[in-house]
Structures are given as C-alpha cells and as structure tokens.
Amino acid sequence: MGGASASAPDTTTGPISAKDLVGEYVAACEHRPPSDVLGHLGREVNKLLAEGIAPDHIRAGMDRMRAKGCP
C-alpha cells in the first residue's frame, strides 16, 4: 500500500468539509476507489462532521480504512 501521504489542507479559509477529507483519502490511495465508494464515504463523513466529530478523528478512521486497503 504505497499511496502518498496527504497533508492537511489549509483551514484558514474556513472549516474542513467532507469533500476535503475524502480528497485527502483519495490522494493517499495507491489507486482511486470507485465513485460509488467515494460517494458513500462522503455522505458518511458529512454526517460525522454534522454531529461535531473532529476532522482529526475522522482522518484517523480513514487512515485505518486505507491501511486495510483502498477499495
């Protein structure tokens, strides 16, 4: 699982979005996951952000998911 290390985006322009987090995930994957997987992931991340879950915690979960292998 080679993927590049994704750096945290510049959040000085506003709060982090689900699109930002999914973009980081995709950038770190060796191969781009299927669109339906990314759509589902984006919806779930959006729900977590809406519930007040910290972006760093979401990133940690996505890192674990990527370690298992990007779909």
The full set of domain ranges for the chain reads: 16-67
Give helix then strand counts, H and E, for the chain.
3, 0
21-38 burial, b at 16+ Cβ within 10 Å, e below that, comes to bbebbbebbeeebeeeeb
Taking the complete model, does pTM exceed 0.85, yes or no?
A: no
Asked if 26 and 44 touch (Cβ cutoff 8 Å), the reply is no
Q: What pLDDT score does 30 carry? A: 85
Q: For tokens 């992931």, what's the residue?
A: 41
Per-residue pLDDT of the chain (71 residues; tens, 9 = 90+): 455 444 555 545 679 999 999 999 999 988 899 999 999 999 999 999 999 999 999 999 999 988 887 65
